Amino acid sequence: MAQGPNELLDLLKFELKFLEDGGYGRSPHTPWRRQLVFEDSLTCPNFGDPARPHPCSECLLMRFVPSELKDQPSPCRLIPLTEKGETIDFFYRCGTQVELEEALSTWLHKQISAIETQQKAGRTTSLSEAMDPLRLQRWLTFAKDLRVLAHLHRDYEDFGVAHALLGHARAAAENVAGSCEAGRALVQQIEREQQEVFGLLNGAKVDVKEASPDKPEVWGP
146-184: per-residue pLDDT in tens?
A: 899 889 888 888 888 888 889 888 888 887 777 778 888
Gap between the Cα atoms of 201 and 216, Å rounded: 18
Gap between the Cα atoms of 188 and 208, Å rounded: 10
pLDDT tens-digit readout, 44-90:
888 877 788 889 988 999 999 998 899 998 999 999 999 999 999 99
Contacts of 64 (CB under 8 A, 6+ apart): 79, 80, 111
Gap between the Cα atoms of 42 and 62, Å rounded: 15
- 3-class DSSP assignment, residue 87: strand
The reported pLDDT for the residue numbered 116 is 87
Contact 34, 97 (CB under 8 A): yes
Q: What is this structure's pTM? A: 0.56
DSSP 98-152: HHHHHHHHHHHHHHHHHHHHHHHTT-S--TTSPPPHHHHHHHHHHHHHHHHHHHH
Phi, psi of 87 (to 5 degrees): -100, 175
The reported pLDDT for the residue numbered 136 is 79
The reported pLDDT for the residue numbered 12 is 92
The reported pLDDT for the residue numbered 121 is 72
